[in-house]
Amino acid sequence: MASVVRTTRRVEFADTDMAGIVHFANFFRYMEAAEHEFLRAHGLSVAMDWEGERIGFPRVSASCDFHNPVRFEDVLDIDVGLARLGSKSLTFACTFLHKGGLVARGQLSTVCCRLGPGQPLESIEIPAGIRDRLGATPSDAAS
Amino acid sequence: MASVVRTTRRVEFADTDMAGIVHFANFFRYMEAAEHEFLRAHGLSVAMDWEGERIGFPRVSASCDFHNPVRFEDVLDIDVGLARLGSKSLTFACTFLHKGGLVARGQLSTVCCRLGPGQPLESIEIPAGIRDRLGATPSDAAS
Amino acid sequence: MASVVRTTRRVEFADTDMAGIVHFANFFRYMEAAEHEFLRAHGLSVAMDWEGERIGFPRVSASCDFHNPVRFEDVLDIDVGLARLGSKSLTFACTFLHKGGLVARGQLSTVCCRLGPGQPLESIEIPAGIRDRLGATPSDAAS
Amino acid sequence: MASVVRTTRRVEFADTDMAGIVHFANFFRYMEAAEHEFLRAHGLSVAMDWEGERIGFPRVSASCDFHNPVRFEDVLDIDVGLARLGSKSLTFACTFLHKGGLVARGQLSTVCCRLGPGQPLESIEIPAGIRDRLGATPSDAAS
């Protein structure tokens, strides 16, 4: 299975809400940024040209469990890895830590799609070259 | 079980991303706003004084499945209801529709907490008066 | 000069920050939404096909002065009007009120551009038909 | 006058809009984060205890001119410095660059305030120790 990539980010003032903590919806922005860092670390991007086609990975689901709040200027460690590599889909798992303590855990599921100009999204099998870069064999060829 | 409350909102330009659709993290903001509309419709608020105590409902989990994208100026219908009323927790279920078609479905789970100034959050049983306003009996007294 | 359009919006929880008030950057989102409401009220849109061309209005500047803070669930009245109609540019002025009291004042300046696919933005004179709909004659033909 | 602090940040997917560029309101979030980096670099914070009092710097105005758009994964250099140090107020100036080219210029003005619990904001003279840390003498004692 592919490696885990660790990113860090400092909580910004605009990320907080009137409860004095990071607003929960921002964890989904944080997860997405970590996912994109993971892709960059594997020579990939969330929207790229691949063998003459425009390929993208729209989300099909997202979830997060919140264990402990974090505050302005806290520095988060975010570990992101591939939880599942299907024939057409990817699921990333994220763990958020602050000073080693668990903050939140989340998942993002995406589907590989061909992005034709003015066309509806069409899901496709993840190209072999992308699969190779992700450094993993399919865990579930039926997905 | 309590009623379903329908809210509508028009997608704003700032809610879109470079894929030309509403960014997925914004569905969590939309869900939260619908939840708060539900509470207002039942004479409650997400942060209120209740019998001399400050009561709040921090999130413990959030999830959403995305079925169809929506775009700038689309008008969404958002149906929100109580999916589960525990002794200390509430789970709201949201359905997002556009012109009658399914856009997304999500859930937000929150826990009733006492908010003392300078105190850590302390979970408590949902006060009977709040439970009455929610118009429901506990579906799971053990939660 | 064109009319003033009033919109209202209720402050959402996600719009607040740890100071307990609406985060200042959100006033720019609010202004933009009011500008788009103004355009809709005049039969226009911020991104539209016009006489066979794709026309848009990217921002060239934005500013806001903050007079009084607003909080969760406050209902804002936002008055937006055309402060200046140049040959190529538009400046919108917004006034934010809460219960009749001044909250903030801001301006957004935009330039009319042709949006060719894969082309850099090219500024153009505002088409006469759009100008007619805005209900105004140019205040400054030199801009 | 105090030094200029350079920060860098990579544009995230969630920062873009349907025009494929960074949404203009996000430049204000970026400016604020740069301002806070400047304060940290001078041993200060935007909300701190100082000689037994809670001190903060709410915004009174913000403005930005947009010269060139930036896109997903572009890395911005953001230079922030003190443009003006009044007796009660601070104005920060920001310059946004991409690969050395000008992207945007903006300003944030803030006023030093005492933040008493449950009290309205009260503007005060910037304490001498904070002024010393900012490394500057007032440019306008009358402000």
Q: Which residue has the tokens 């039926």?
A: A142
List, in order, residues 6 or more apart from A111 with CB less than 8 Å away. Answer: A57, A58, A60, A88, A89, A90, A123
pLDDT tens-place string over residues A17-64: 998 899 999 999 999 999 999 999 999 988 788 888 888 889 999 999
Whole-angstrom distance, CA of residue D89 vs CA of residue D107: 13
Out of C13, C36, C45, closest to residue B46 by CB? C13
**Contact: C61, D65; criterion CB under 8 Å:** yes
What digits encode the pLDDT tens for the residues D80-110?
A: 999 999 999 999 999 999 999 999 999 999 9
Task: Give the residue, B110 or D142, on which the prediction is more confident.
Answer: B110
Contact A18 C23 (CB under 8 A): no
Res. B142: pLDDT tops 50: no
Interval B41-79: pLDDT, tens: 999 988 788 888 888 889 999 999 999 999 999 999 999
Per-residue model confidence as pLDDT tens digits over C103-130? 999 999 999 998 876 777 789 999 999 9
Q: How far apart are CA A88 and CA A111, in angstroms?
A: 6
pLDDT per position as a tens digit, C49-79: 888 888 888 999 999 999 999 999 999 999 9
| pLDDT higher than 60, residue D64 | yes
Distance (Å, whole) CA B91 – CA C41: 39
C-alpha span between B57 and C143 (Å, rounded): 53
Six token digits for residue A140: 């579930």
**Chain A, chain D: beta-carbon pairs less than 8 Å apart:** 30
**3-class DSSP state of D132:** helix
* CA–CA separation, B118 and B115 (whole Å): 8
Domains of chain B: 5-134 (3.10.129.10)
CA–CA gap between residue D30 and residue D33 (Å, rounded): 5
Q: Is the pLDDT of residue A102 over 90?
A: yes
Contact between D73 and A32 using a beta-carbon 8 Å cutoff:
no
For residues C1 and B29, which has the higher predicted lDDT (pLDDT)? B29
Residue A45 · residue A115 · CB < 8 Å: no
Residue C94 has pLDDT above 50, yes or no: yes
Please, which pLDDT band fits residue A95 given cuts at 50, 70 and 90? very high
Token output for D18: 């349907």
DSSP assignment, residue C25? T
So what's the pLDDT on residue B139?
45
Q: Quote the pLDDT of residue B53.
A: 86
What are the chain B neighbours of D72 within 8 Å (beta carbons)? 18
Q: What gap in Å lies between CA B26 and CA D31, rounded to an integer?
A: 22
Average pLDDT, rounded, for chain B? 89
Residue C140 has pLDDT above 70, yes or no: no
Distance between CA atoms of C97 and C103, rounded to whole angstroms? Answer: 5
Q: For B20, what's the count of Cα atoms within 13 Å in the CB-facing half-sphere? A: 10
pLDDT score recorded for residue A46 = 83
Average pLDDT rounded to a whole number, residues C35-59: 89
- DSSP per residue, A101-124: EEEEEEEEEEE-EE--TTPPPEE-
Percent of chain B with pLDDT over 70: 92
> For residues D102 and D94, what is the distance between their CA atoms, to the nearest angstrom?
11
Q: What is the pLDDT of residue B122?
A: 87
The C-alpha atoms of residue D138 and residue D90 are separated, in whole angstroms, by 10
Contact A62/B61, CB-based, under 8 Å?
no
Residue C29 contacts A where some CB pair is shorter than 8 Å: no
D27-64 burial, b at 16+ Cβ within 10 Å, e below that, comes to bbbbbbbbbbbbbeebebbbbeeeeeeebbbbbbbbbb
Task: Give the separation between CA D123 and CA D113, rounded to whole angstroms.
Answer: 4
Confidence of residue A2 (pLDDT cuts 50, 70, 90): low
Confidence of residue D141 (pLDDT cuts 50, 70, 90): very low
D85-111 per-residue burial string, b: 16 or more CB within 10 A, e: under 16:
bbbebbbbbbbbbbeeeebbbbbbbbb
Helix (H, G, I), strand (E, B) or coil at C10: strand
Residues of D in contact with A13 (CB under 8 A): 32-33, 36, 46
A59 at interface of B, judged by CB pairs closer than 8 A = yes
| ipTM score assigned to the predicted complex | 0.90
* In the predicted structure, residue D137 carries a pLDDT above the cut 70: no
Banded model confidence at residue C91, pLDDT cuts 50, 70, 90: very high
**pLDDT at residue C2 in the model:** 53
Confidence of residue A130 (pLDDT cuts 50, 70, 90): very high
- Other beta carbons within 10 angstroms of residue C69's beta carbon come to 19
pTM over 0.95: no
DSSP H/E element including C67 = none
Taking alpha carbons only, the member of D98, D99, D87 closest to residue D125 is D87
In the predicted structure, residue C137 carries a pLDDT above the cut 80: no
Confidence tier at D2 by pLDDT (50, 70, 90): low
Structure tokens at C75: 């209902």
* DSSP label of D45: -
CA distance C74 to C77: 10
Q: Which residues does chain D have within 8 Å of residue B16's beta carbon, measured at their own beta carbons?
A: 17-18
A119 to A51, A114, A123: CA distances (angstroms): 18, 9, 12
Distance CA A43, CA A133 (A): 7
- How many whole angstroms separate alpha carbon B132 and alpha carbon B108? 20
Distance CA A116, CA A123 (A): 11
Q: Is a pLDDT exceeding 50 seen at residue C141?
A: no
